[in-house]
Amino acid sequence: MTENILSQDVKTDVQAPAPILDNLFAETVTEVEHYTDHLFRFRITRPASFRFRSGEFVMIGLPESATGEKSVFRAYSIASPSWDETLEFFSIKVPGGPLTEHLQNIVAGDTILMRKKSTGTLVLDALLPGKRLWMISTGTGFAPFASLVRDPEAYEKFETLIATHTCRYVDELRYSQNTVAATLDDPLVGEFAANRLQLITSTTRDDHPLTGRITTLMQDGSLYRHLGIDGLDPEHDRVMICGSMAMLKDVRLLVEAAGFVEGANNKPGSFVVERAFVG
């Protein structure tokens, strides 16, 4: 399994600066759920003063006392929506990974360090108004979309939300499937999401109703046939992309070829890509 650019746990050229306590929150783990040998989610308490926009990421780490080593920080998309009382994260477990090797062992009551400032490009503000919001993800790249599909603002801005999640194996899809099912059932967001939120899942190395990389499904049109719609339309569709570096590059090429223009916080466009470590 390769790492998405968010929640990755490999050495990168961009190293987090040494933690400065003034810049850090120390929060408590409230919940942990493991899906596979490679994937888990957890929740932590939310500092009263912490504000973020759904889709953003923060840097998180573990205290030195928990690992016996200097704290290592990694970028994690916040997977819970901005109105939620606790903060959720969806993480990969990298064997020997400097952070996730320890992080995968957390239990309720443990301490997580979190930098005070969130940021990111997978935010509604970076997109021009449109009718249909596509959130295209692979692996842990679904995390920022778990935040957005639970945010009423996304339904105020878009008529329809389509999230896609592609993984190698069926059991890696459980987080997105559970999140979307719970969203449709949610007393607050369920009403907005009913008949307007769709999750399309596919696998590449397992049997599943829809199989194949998302790039293949877009290129051969089977994604659109599956939904009973025509292809992407840059006038009304807006696209967010989150996954591994290779996936980001390939999906970007496809949407650019379809006439989409990349947006940013200061210049909204018709698609956005997570740029946590890019450029």
List residues near ligand A2P by CB under 6 A.
Answer: 1-2, 138-139, 166-168, 204-205, 213-215, 244, 246-247, 250
Q: Which is nearer to ligand A2P, 236 or 252 (CB)?
A: 252
Minimal distance, residue 2 CB to ligand A2P, in Å: 4
Decide: 94 and 101 in contact? Cβ < 8 Å: yes
- Residue 212 carries which DSSP code? S
Angle at 268 between CA 74 and CA 49, to 5 degrees: 45
β-partners of residue 87 are 44
Decide: 193 and 158 in contact? Cβ < 8 Å: no
Decide: 76 and 3 in contact? Cβ < 8 Å: no
Q: Which is nearer to ligand A2P, 83 or 277 (CB)?
A: 277
**Among residues 128, 85, 100, which one has the least CA distance to residue 4?**
100
What's the CA gap between 89 and 149, in Å, rounded? 15
Minimal distance, residue 251 CB to ligand A2P, in Å: 7
Decide: 40 and 33 in contact? Cβ < 8 Å: yes
Q: Which is nearer to ligand A2P, 54 or 244 (CB)?
A: 244
Decide: 198 and 160 in contact? Cβ < 8 Å: yes
Minimal distance, residue 191 CB to ligand A2P, in Å: 32
Minimal distance, residue 202 CB to ligand A2P, in Å: 8
Minimal distance, residue 60 CB to ligand A2P, in Å: 20
Q: Which is nearer to ligand A2P, 141 or 234 (CB)?
A: 141
Q: Which is nearer to ligand A2P, 77 or 244 (CB)?
A: 244
DSSP states along 73-135 = -EEEE--S-TT-SEEEEEEE--TT-TTHHHHTT--TT-EEEEES--B-S-SGGGB---SEEEE
Q: Which is nearer to ligand A2P, 92 or 149 (CB)?
A: 92
What's the CA gap between 180 and 163, in Å, rounded? 9
Minimal distance, residue 213 CB to ligand A2P, in Å: 4
Decide: 159 and 131 in contact? Cβ < 8 Å: yes
Q: Which is nearer to ligand A2P, 151 or 262 (CB)?
A: 262
Long-range contacts of 215-221 (CB under 8 A, 24+ apart): 215/247, 215/250, 215/251, 215/254, 218/251, 218/254, 219/254
Q: Which is nearer to ligand A2P, 24 or 223 (CB)?
A: 223
Minimal distance, residue 140 CB to ligand A2P, in Å: 8
Minimal distance, residue 99 CB to ligand A2P, in Å: 18
